[in-house]
Each structure stands twice: as C-alpha cells, then as structure tokens.
Amino acid sequence: MTNHLPLFEKLERRRRELGLSQSVLAERSGVSMPTVQRILSDHSLAASFENTVAIAQAMGMQLDAVPIFPAHEILEQQARKKAERLVGMVQGTSALEAQAVSTQHIGQMVKKTIQELLAGSRRRLWTE
C-alpha cells in the first residue's frame, strides 16, 4: 500500500510516525528547515539528491523510502541516548556530592527513564 505513495508522502508519513518536528528533522539531517519543508510538501524538484537522502537517512530510511529499521527501534535508540545523558548528569551531580551511585542502580535508572520517555510525548523524546 505505501509502496505506491510518492516519495514526499512516504517521508512525511515516516516523520509523523516518529513524532519528529520538521525543525528536529532539519537538525538531525543537516538540511535547512526551508529545504525540509519543500521536500516534505512535494516541492522537491528543486531539492538536491543529497538533501533528500540525508532526510531519509535521518529517519532510518533508504532513498526509496522503505524503512531500514522499524520505527520502534529508532524511538528506543533515541530514548536510550537521551536516558543515558540524563542519568549521566544525575550521576555526575551525585559524584560531586560524594554520593556515588552503583553501576546496577545506574542501569535501573536508565531502563526506567527509557520507559518513561517512550511512554511520553514523542516531541519531548527528540528535544535535546
């Protein structure tokens, strides 16, 4: 069914599936916001091949817009990245206060944070 959709519709559908804003997609792909908007709104004739590929790859897709990775894997990867960063900040603060946190406890914190991030707003998941 989706194989017959135009490329811009496949890209836009994937962006929505991942819960990415156009601005976050622009940042992740290294493509300017106006160019992302043009490509996702079927004004892509003026877009370069490289920009279109960069946008597709930023969403885990090949240029033919077939997902390389299922959306849940991309979301889990992003949640883990963000959770590890957040827990790392807590760990750093605890170390400064001489209240070291065990490796096991850190792992539990990361796992719980991943679950909370995945259960929450997808837009929040992508904000740094």
58-107 pLDDT per residue, tens: 999 887 656 677 888 889 999 999 999 988 887 776 655 556 677 888 88
Structure tokens at 41: 């709104």
**Domain 2-68 CATH assignment equals 1.10.260.40:** yes
Domain(s) labelled CATH 1.10.260.40 in the chain stretch across 2-68
The pLDDT of residue 117: 92
What is the average pLDDT score of the chain?
A: 84
Is the Cβ–Cβ distance between 98 and 104 less than 8 Å?
no
Please say if the pLDDT value at position 19 is more than 60: yes
b/e per residue, 36-57, with b = 16+ CB within 10 A?
Answer: bebbbeeebeebeeebbebbbe
Spatial distance between the Cα atoms of 4 and 32, rounded to a whole number of angstroms: 27
The pLDDT of residue 13: 92
Output 36 or 43, whichever has higher pLDDT.
36
The pLDDT of residue 1: 44
- Tell me 4's DSSP state: G
Split at pLDDT 50, 70, 90, the class of 42 is confident
Statement: the pTM of the whole predicted model exceeds 0.85? no
Is the Cβ–Cβ distance between 125 and 78 less than 8 Å?
yes
Beta bridge partners of 61: 67
Find which of 42-46, 49-53, 76-80, 119-123 is predicted with most confidence, using mean pLDDT: 76-80
